[in-house]
A and B are shown apart, each in its own frame.
Chain A
Amino acid sequence: MSTGIGNPAGSPDFAHDEAHAHPHGWRRWLYATNHKDIGTLYLWFSATMLMEGGLLAMLIRLELFQPGLQFFRPELYNEFVSLHGLVMVFGAIMPAFVGFANWMVPLQVGASDMAFARMNNFSFWLLPPAALLLTASFFVPGGATGSGWTMYPPLSLQMGVGMDMTIFAVHMMGVSSILGSINIITTILNMRAPGMTLMKLPMFCWTWLITAYLLIAVMPVLATAVTMLLTDRHFGTTFFNAAGGGDPVMFQHIFWFFGHPEVYIMILPGFGIISQVIPAFSRKPLFGYASMVYATASIAIISFIVWAHHMFTTGMPVTAQLFFMYATMLVAVPTGVKVFNWVATMWKGSLSFEPAMLFAVGFLWVFTIGGFSGLILSVAPIDIQVQDTYYVVGHFHYVLVAGSLFCLFSGYYYWVPKWTGHMVNDWRAKFHFWNSLVWVNVTFFPMHFLGLAGMPRRYADYAVQFTDFHMVTSIGAWLFGLTQVYWLLFIVIPNIRGGPPAPPKPWDGAEGLEWTVPSPAPFHTFETPPLVK
């Protein structure tokens, strides 16, 4: 007998697993080493940050409802814009995907937990102090950073102590991401159930494995950028200070070398979620699995050679402009492969439109809009015209809100029965979807017109001819924000408290090891690795 391989999938001894003692009360969360508990912590953290970042967005839209300065000083407005970006990128989107990974990667690969459970705990608990630092920076002399999430010098060199708090927070969040990536890579590579070869990995795991590689490759670059800022501010270096022989544009090169792969870090795991949801509700296997894997890897690789498309107006040789323009356009090829494969998966499938599928299909539509506007922005002469206008704001919100956030909602509705053991109220979830879909477009589509008309970003005031589109955008934003509050209060919390019990596999087309365990998933799962045929 070789007990390296154990029970076949479908007949595990979970009653025994559940009998294990585990801590209760606050100790359960503070000392958490169980991947499900840590996943839950990540998801709650990111939901809190989503609300904080969302509140800042609402305040921004309040100020922009009419021309003129209504409520906030321009400096405070800049702080809102900067913290909105930082909180959403580092506090909401990234931790949400890590939360999904913590919950689902061990369940999908048939592992009992993440490879380094204590390190997992540490990587989560780095986040709340970092978030507190970011939020507390509003209340220190000089206020929070007003230099945008990109922290461009020379402005960031002139900020008060709030900038130092931001640098420290970004460092902590970066360390957390690196530790999370180490855990994900080790878990996926080493702890797959017997029989689960790499080309049998669920797409969510594949996309996370590639994302973790990306994170490991670019996080030192972010750490460098903010450390150089710190030494310029306090230790007499002049890396980015032209007066001392430095070059502020160099910061942009360093930052965007991290920043562009970061965009894919925030969307690739979402692609993985969509690649799980669409086959489940089309009742067909994913079309072109291998090409999906290669397309994901291609996107990750191309992301390293496109950073300067964020900097077309900073001055660069025409050959460089052409290189970065064509390299950026190249991203459309593997992304197109993915969109084609998702559509082909649905083609002649037995489709049903549960909330997870609605968000997936909604994502396909709105993300494609974001992708196309990105393609337009990749053309250097056009980008130079609309650089730093609302066109760019509209584009990246289509990618990050209509893209990443919709993926997260799709994943939430798909896997929440496994997390809480309760089915979501279908009507409420559909209400959430339709409102999100309508208001996300009402909010961000007019931004393209504003940008084309010349409305610059990061301005607290504007010329009167932009008023109508700004009003429409503000109304859409408030209603989109309210919709997300509705989701938290009327869907998430009631679903935790109760609801119709979920069977182990609530979606008949769903496939994967996670559906072989009961709902909610027991505290300990797959102590004996299942066999994958």
Chain B
Amino acid sequence: MRMLYECTLQRNCSMTPRQVARAYGVLCTLSLAVALAFFLHGVWIVLAFSLLELSCVGLALLLYARHALDRERIALSSDCLLVECVQAEVHSQALLDPLWTRVLTTTDATARRHLITLESRGVRVEVGRFVNEAQRRQVARELRLALRQVSIMR
């Protein structure tokens, strides 16, 4: 099936979760080596504090890494508009009819985030949560153009 329009919207993340795990491993090795040396000399409190601290670091990195690969993919072919979303490793997808899809952008100036709403036969999907306002405007413009081409082709 030929794709008429395709885009992936994702946040910038310069390290994959595996690379982050490796960096965390180096940190743990360093900190635990210190803590174990003290533990072997009878000062066990260092180990307790180290474990507490490394748990905090691990939790922070985990929170970040869980969302490192979050993305949205919009793929338009002549007979369907596929919207895929991955958030914290939870996949969801929606198939919309391109002939009935409307691209809505909110005009509410007070709204904190102006996501793009795709609406087709009562199904509403929001996209653009990982990119900024300028990029959302660009995606909405490009998608409207592509949808118009589909209706002309049919």
Contact = CB atoms under 8 A, between A and B. Distances in A.
A2 B20 contact: no
Contacts of A227: 45, 49
Given A182-B57, A254-B43, A4 B134 contact: no
A257 B46 CA distance: 11
Contacts of A529: 12
B13 A190 contact: yes
Interface stretch (B27-35, B80-88, B100-108): B27-35
Interface class of chain B by DSSP: helix
A464 to B, nearest CB: 45
A220 interface: yes
A255 to B, nearest CB: 12
A257 B15 CA distance: 32
Contact of B31 (A116, A220, A527): A220
Contacts of B138: 1, 3
Contact of A189 (B12, B15, B45): B15
Nearest to A529: B12
Contact of A5 (B12, B60, B139): B12
Contacts of B89: none
Interface in A225-257: 227-228, 250, 254, 257
Interface size class of chain B, counting residues whose CB lies under 8 Å from the partner chain: 35 or more
A194 interface: yes
Contact of A527 (B20, B35, B45, B132): B132
Contact of B45 (A6, A213, A218, A228): A228
B49 A223 contact: yes
Contacts of A193: 12, 14
Contact of B14 (A1, A2, A194): A194
A13 interface: yes
Contacts, number: 119
- The listed residue with most A CB atoms (<10 A of its CB), out of B26, B43, B61, B138, is B43
Interface in B1-17: 7-15
B14 A189 contact: yes
B31 A216 contact: yes
B68 interface: yes
13 contacts: A1-B138, A3-B10, A3-B135, A3-B139, A4-B8, A6-B132, A6-B135, A178-B53, A186-B60, A190-B68, A220-B49, A220-B50, A528-B131
A219 B10 contact: no
B4 to A, nearest CB: 13
Interface string A184-205: 0110011111101000000000
Q: Across chains A and B, which 4 residue pairs bring their CB atoms closest together, nearest first?
A: A220-B49, A192-B14, A529-B12, A4-B10
Given A191-B12, A228-B45, A528 B20 contact: no
Nearest to A116: B60
B31 A217 contact: yes
Contacts of B50: 220
Interface in A311-336: none
Interface string A7-19: 0000001001000
Interface string A83-126: 00000000000000000000000000001000110010000000
A304 B34 contact: yes
A13 B134 contact: yes
Given A190-B68, A194-B12, A1 B45 contact: no
A221 interface: yes
Nearest to A239: B43
B36 to A, nearest CB: 12
Interface string A173-185: 0000011001001
Residue among B20, B135, B139 having the largest count of chain A Cβ atoms under 10 Å: B135
Contacts of A6: 12, 132, 135
A1 B53 contact: no
Contacts of A16: 132-134
Contacts of A224: 38, 43, 45-46, 49
Interface in B36-88: 38, 43, 45-46, 49-50, 52-54, 56-57, 60-61, 64, 68, 71
Interface in A142-187: 178-179, 182, 185-186
Given A3-B139, A178-B56, A115 B64 contact: yes
B94 interface: no
Contacts of B68: 190
A224 B48 CA distance: 9
B137 to A, nearest CB: 10
Interface in A511-530: 527-529
Nearest to B10: A4
A528 B131 CA distance: 8
Contacts of B61: 186
A90 B91 CA distance: 46
A219 B53 contact: yes
Contacts of B134: 13, 16, 528
A357 B7 CA distance: 47
A390 B27 CA distance: 37
